[in-house]
Structure 1
């Protein structure tokens, strides 16, 4: 449509309105394009770093017992699974008690939060702040060679 062509019936927009509308649309597209994999919910894929191999998810199965190292752990979705001593498995929420970030690593006998540096022992207790309290416990159980949500 050129400046001299007639506008469709009932439609009228001046240059200033057209420019403002274009700017708003461009901003919306830029914001939508900035989303990344880190914006996806934790349930989209298990997060595992450090000492732990990848966890498996099939139904209620969080991991295989063999995947959780003694003196270490792994992260499966929203659950941290640790094995402080052989055959002793514990489950915790993967949400840090400081500001709600997701912990992202179990390494060197610690559960680590990337946001502000909080660390937790394998029993979920605070090893280093600023987290004010231990990770919340999550019910898990061993079913044969699988660790499942209880």
Structure 2
């Protein structure tokens, strides 16, 4: 636009950048959709065979946003794998340590406790039981 003054171009460019930056900030904020995941099961969900979780071990069910630990042969514990810091889904499990890829929070998969900030709240406990040899997690489980 040959007739446009530099001041007007500068203002228009700044307005465009401000709008774009505002969208980016909104998407990354806890209230935005960036990183936020579906919560842990709101209804009972079949996770699979109970023997898929080894005694003394844990298993991450990424699609259901749940981690299940099995401290003894007949005892199962489950936690939501939605990070309590910014609501991102946790998809990394090493041993019994869960790591959120968004900001690096770490949690103990056997008890939900925070091992490394920025999260300050433990993972939410999810009801879990074994029915007919299958793990069922979620309310009324």
Report the TM range for the smaller structure's normalisation: 0.5 to 0.7
How many corresponding residue pairs? Answer: 96
Quote the Cα distance in structure 1 between the aligned partners of 2:88 and 2:71.
23
Aligned partner (choices 122, 137, 141) of residue 134 of structure 1: 122
Taking the TM superposition and a 5 Å limit, the aligned residue runs for 1:1-150 are 60-69=45-54, 70-76=56-62, 77-121=64-108, 122-149=110-137, 150=141
- Measured at CA, do residues 108 and 136 of structure 1 come closer, stay the same or move farther in structure 2, by a change above 3 Å? same
The two structures have a TM-score, normalised by structure 1, of 0.55
Question: Shift of the alpha carbon at 1:112?
Answer: 1.8
The two structures have a TM-score, normalised by structure 2, of 0.59
Question: Shift of the alpha carbon at 1:118?
Answer: 1.0
Question: Shift of the alpha carbon at 1:94?
Answer: 1.6
1:62/1:148 contact within 8 Å kept: yes
* Greater Cα radius of gyration, structure 1 or 2: 1
Moved over 6 A (4+): none
1:135 alignment partner, SS class: coil
* Residues 54-100 of structure 1, C-alpha deviations (whole Å, 9 max, x = no match): xxxxx831121121133222224122212244432111112100100
1:95 alignment partner, SS class: coil
2:125 alignment partner, SS class: coil
Structure 2 unaligned blocks of 5 or more: 1-34
The CA RMSD measured in Å over matched residues stands at: 2.3
Higher relative contact order (CA 8 A, sep 6+): 2
- Measured at CA, do residues 125 and 146 of structure 1 come closer, stay the same or move farther in structure 2, by a change above 3 Å? same
Structure 1 unaligned blocks of 5 or more: 1-38, 44-58
Quote the Cα distance in structure 1 between the aligned partners of 2:105 and 2:45.
29
